[in-house]
Amino acid sequence: MKPLFDKMHESRKQLMSLAEATVFDEAAVRTIAHEQAATETELIVSRTRVQNKINGLLTQEQRELLKNFRPEGR
């Protein structure tokens, strides 16, 4: 997952540079935004895959305990 986090960090830096530019390059911003959306999708899939693997290792009692530690809505 670290490569995905690194990619998001780099694209944020690119967006900051574009925001500070004297001329607005909408096409470049849209390209980076699309790339960020794809990276965010991969992060969500990766996180969910890890959660699923962990859940598969837990007993029913451990899964119930884990539910109690999660904030509401998550």
15-60 per-position pLDDT tens digit = 999 999 999 999 999 999 999 999 999 999 999 999 999 999 999 9
What distance lies between CA 64 and its chain's CA centroid? 26
Q: Confirm whether pTM is higher than 0.85.
A: no
- Measure the CA–CA gap between 3 and 25, rounded to whole angstroms: 26
pLDDT at residue 69, as a whole number: 83
pLDDT at residue 71, as a whole number: 73
